């Protein structure tokens, strides 16, 4: 029996929610942290052992370095949340945070030493531990009924949206002190989180069975849920939606340059506003009003709303393009909250850690798929990749229509 199967009451639920939101923010910010740091290092005219390792082209080395962290997070998402269902939230989260600190410190050291293989290895390790986002999401769901589930999940989502702004800002504002400094700051930020978890989270229950770890890993991972018939439509909806959404996230800057002649400063500004809008909608709007509407039906409507807005985006121009792009974040924030609430309410008996790990795993998978295919589609023009994203999100909405019928048939 997993330790999470027993209902846990937290002494300070609001403090726990704030801490896990902070951990999730730092973890996801770690993905975007190197974006403003690494490009100048690899684009430098002077080649060195770091940006020209083994004579490999700097562009190839940059791609590998950027991919190492999300690839590690993909594997971490598949395992850490599910393991926390069995071994306990505090036990697994504390270990992953401690290793994340080591990963950030190792990344800083490898940058200072100009040791490229070590940097990639430590970035992968950090990403693996940042799969703990699924544990944070599970803890947020665990807080129900002390904190209403829609409120907790909305606050968690707002932290994740803010992370995509915090990461590049931290990297860009501190890299003049040295490329390794932002990684040291990220490591330092993890330490108080680790201490707070020790005092705020109740001790995990003593395990009643002592199977080998590798056997536990095979049995308790989120990948196993993909084969559960009950989750077939939910898995399809999450994967399709994240493919479409990442088509938007990754390629709207290209569209802004191609069609709107935006400068880098303008793209940075509109990205900041978009993140702020999604953070506000999730933390304020969804936290207060999200529980007043049925989660699945509302998620379905929000998905079709995102698809429609994304389809129309290439037809806008000028100041309307600014406004329309930012407004795309509103139904997206709504979908994310309602969809996660539905999954936790209806499939929580499978293990909240496993379920949240599955959603994060599918998000990372969708990111990889569109990153590989998007470059080819974008050869037709940036508008085509946005329309492709719209189609995938609409397909996700259709999966939710089928899921609504299935759930109604079982009622």
Please provide residue 303's backbone torsions phi and psi, each rounded to the nearest 5 degrees.
Answer: -60, -45
Residue 3 domain-assigned (yes or no): no
Q: How far apart are CA 379 and CA 116, in angstroms?
A: 31
Q: How far apart are CA 201 and CA 198, in angstroms?
A: 6
**According to the per-residue pLDDT averaged within each range, which of 47-51, 168-172, 304-308, 317-321 is highest?**
304-308
Residues 187 and 318 in one domain: no
Please state, as a whole number, how many other Cβ atoms lie within 10 Å of the Cβ of residue 230: 12
Cis? peptide before 388, omega within 30° of 0: no
Residues 278 and 151 in one domain: no
Q: Within 281-317, where are the H helices?
A: 287-289, 295-312
Residue where a domain terminates, one of 185, 220, 255: 220
Residues 309 and 171 in one domain: no
Residues 406 and 302 in one domain: yes
Residues 400 and 329 in one domain: yes
Chain segment 349-398, per-residue pLDDT in tens: 777 777 877 887 888 788 778 866 776 787 788 899 899 999 999 999 99
Of 25-34, 98-107, 325-334, where does mean pLDDT reach its minimum? 25-34
Residues 285 and 407 in one domain: yes
Residue 347 domain-assigned (yes or no): yes
Residues 253 and 135 in one domain: no
Domain that residue 135 falls in: 10-203+213-220
Q: 278-310 b/e with 16+ CB inside 10 Å = b?
A: bbbbbbeebbeebbeeebbebbbbbbbbbbbbb
Of 151-155, 165-169, 321-325, where does mean pLDDT reach its minimum? 165-169
Using pLDDT thresholds of 50, 70 and 90, give the confidence band for residue 14.
confident
Chain segment 43-71, per-residue pLDDT in tens: 655 777 777 788 787 767 777 787 788 78
Please state the domain count of the chain: 2
Residue 5 domain-assigned (yes or no): no
Residues 183 and 230 in one domain: no
Residue 354 structure tokens: 């496993």
Residue 336 domain-assigned (yes or no): yes
Residue 58 domain-assigned (yes or no): yes
Residue 66 domain-assigned (yes or no): yes
**Percent over 70 (pLDDT), the chain:** 89
Residues 183 and 251 in one domain: no
Residue 1 domain-assigned (yes or no): no
Residue pair 364/202 in contact (Cβ under 8 Å)? The answer is no
Q: What is the per-residue pLDDT for 316?
A: 93
pLDDT mean over 31-46? 68
Residues 134 and 197 in one domain: yes
Could you tell me the pTM of the whole model? Answer: 0.74
Residues 130 and 229 in one domain: no
Residues 199 and 229 in one domain: no
Residue where a domain terminates, one of 192, 220, 248: 220
Residue 398 domain-assigned (yes or no): yes
Across the chain, mean pLDDT equals: 82
The gap between the terminal CA atoms of the chain, to the nearest Å, is: 28
Chain segment 203-260, per-residue pLDDT in tens: 766 655 556 555 666 666 667 777 788 889 999 999 999 999 988 887 887 788 788 7
Residue where a domain terminates, one of 168, 195, 220: 220
Q: Which CATH number do you get for residue 198?
A: 1.20.1250.20
Residue pair 169/37 in contact (Cβ under 8 Å)? The answer is no
């Amino acid at each position: 029996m997993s330790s999470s199967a027993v209902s846990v009451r937290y002494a300070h639920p609001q403090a726990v929610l704030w801490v896990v939101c902070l951990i999730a923010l730092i973890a996801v910010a770690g993905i975007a942290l190197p974006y403003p740091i690494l490009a100048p290092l690899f684009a430098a005219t002077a080649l060195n052992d770091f940006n020209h390792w083994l004579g490999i082209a700097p562009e190839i080395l940059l791609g590998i370095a950027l991919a190492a962290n999300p690839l590690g997070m993909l594997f971490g998402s598949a395992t850490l949340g599910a393991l926390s269902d069995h071994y306990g939230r505090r036990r697994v989260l504390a270990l992953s945070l401690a290793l994340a600190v080591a990963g950030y410190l190792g990344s800083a050291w490898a940058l200072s030493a100009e040791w490229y293989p070590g940097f990639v290895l430590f970035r992968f390790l950090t990403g693996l531990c940042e799969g703990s986002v699924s544990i944070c999401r599970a803890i947020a769901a665990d807080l129900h009924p002390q904190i209403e589930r829609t409120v907790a999940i909305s606050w968690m989502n707002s932290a994740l949206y803010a992370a995509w702004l915090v990461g590049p800002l931290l990297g860009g504002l501190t890299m003049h002190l040295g490329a390794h400094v932002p990684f040291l700051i990220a490591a330092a930020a993890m330490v108080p989180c680790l201490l707070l978890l020790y005092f705020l989270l109740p001790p995990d229950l003593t395990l009643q069975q002592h199977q080998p770890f590798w056997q536990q890993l095979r049995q308790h991972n989120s990948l196993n849920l993909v084969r559960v018939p009950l989750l077939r439509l939910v898995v399809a909806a999450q994967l399709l939606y994240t493919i479409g959404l990442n088509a938007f996230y990754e390629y709207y800057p290209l569209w802004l340059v191609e069609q709107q002649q935006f400068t880098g400063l303008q793209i940075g500004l509109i990205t900041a506003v978009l993140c702020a809008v999604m953070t506000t909608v999730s933390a304020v709007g969804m936290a207060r009003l999200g529980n007043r509407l049925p989660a699945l039906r509302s998620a379905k409507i929000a998905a079709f709303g995102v698809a429609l807005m994304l389809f129309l985006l290439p037809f806008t121009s000028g100041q309307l393009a600014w406004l329309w792009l930012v407004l795309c974040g509103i139904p997206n924030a709504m979908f994310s909250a309602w969809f996660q609430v539905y999954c936790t309410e209806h499939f929580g008996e499978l293990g909240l850690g496993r379920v949240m790990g599955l959603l994060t795993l599918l998000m990372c998978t969708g990111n990889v798929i569109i990153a590989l295919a998007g470059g080819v589609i974008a050869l037709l023009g940036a508008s085509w990749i946005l329309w492709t994203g719209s189609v995938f999100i609409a397909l996700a909405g259709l999966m939710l229509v089928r899921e609504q019928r299935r759930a109604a048939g079982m009622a």
